[in-house]
Structure 1
Amino acid sequence: MTYYIARVLISAILIVVISEVAKRSSLAGAVIASLPVVSILAFLWIYVDTGDVQRIAELSQQIFWLVLASLVLFVTLPLLIRNDYSFLVALLLSIVLTSGGYLLLVWILKGRVT
């Protein structure tokens, strides 16, 4: 149980650090947020839990392909905000479009990526 609490705390601390840094400098916050910290933590947790490096390799490859779909959010959100959509509407539409991007990419990759 202590291990799971530590994992949650480390993950939560990273989110807070990114948001606090971004309040002071959007570029510094973006640099930290763009680092694959969540992926690295997932790799570490899987390795500690299972020692299964093949599972980590598969996850890494799948993350690579799905990052392409996540780019939809980073393109549509600023476009919508700059075109006078309110933040919440722009965020919601960006999430919907990004979800569609994920569905499309998963459909395209189905059977091609293990």
Structure 2
Amino acid sequence: MWSFIAKALLAGAMIAAIAELGKRLPAMAALVASLPLVSVLGMIFLWHARPDARNMAIHSEATFWYVLPSLPMFLVIPMLLRAGLHFWIALAIGCALTVALYLVMMNIGPRFGLRL
């Protein structure tokens, strides 16, 4: 239980640090947010819990493929904001697009041999 709490606190601290940095340096906060820190920490925690190279390889490769459907959100949201949409609406549309693209990836990926 303590391990879970420590992981949650670490993830929360990373998000809070990015938000604080974003107040002063939005581009720098975006750079830090784009780093695969959560993925790397997740892999470290997963390896610690289950040191299995095959499992880690599957996890790492699936992470790559699942990142791709999330990328368009980061272009759609600023486009919608610049077009005058309210932040929450733009965010909801971006998130809905991401969910839709995840579903597409989950349905199409295995047809091309992807292990998702």
The TM-score bracket by the shorter chain reads over 0.9
Q: CA deviation at 1:107?
A: 1.2
| Alignment correspondent of 2:99 | 99
Alignment TM-score, normalising by the size of structure 2: 0.92
Q: CA deviation at 1:67?
A: 1.2
Taking the TM superposition and a 5 Å limit, the aligned residue runs for 1:75-86 are 75-86=75-86
Aligned partners of 1:53 and 1:59: how far apart in 2? 10
Instruction: Provide the identity percentage.
Output: 33
Taking the TM superposition and a 5 Å limit, the aligned residue runs for 1:40-79 are 40-79=40-79
Aligned length: 114
Alignment TM-score, normalising by the size of structure 1: 0.94
**Segments of 4+ moved more than 2 angstroms:** none
SS for the counterpart of 2:72 is helix
Give ranges in structure 2 of 5+ residues lacking alignment: none
- Counterpart amino acid of residue 33 in structure 1: A
| Alignment correspondent of 2:90 | 90
Give ranges in structure 1 of 5+ residues lacking alignment: none
SS for the counterpart of 1:81 is helix
- Counterpart amino acid of residue 53 in structure 2: V
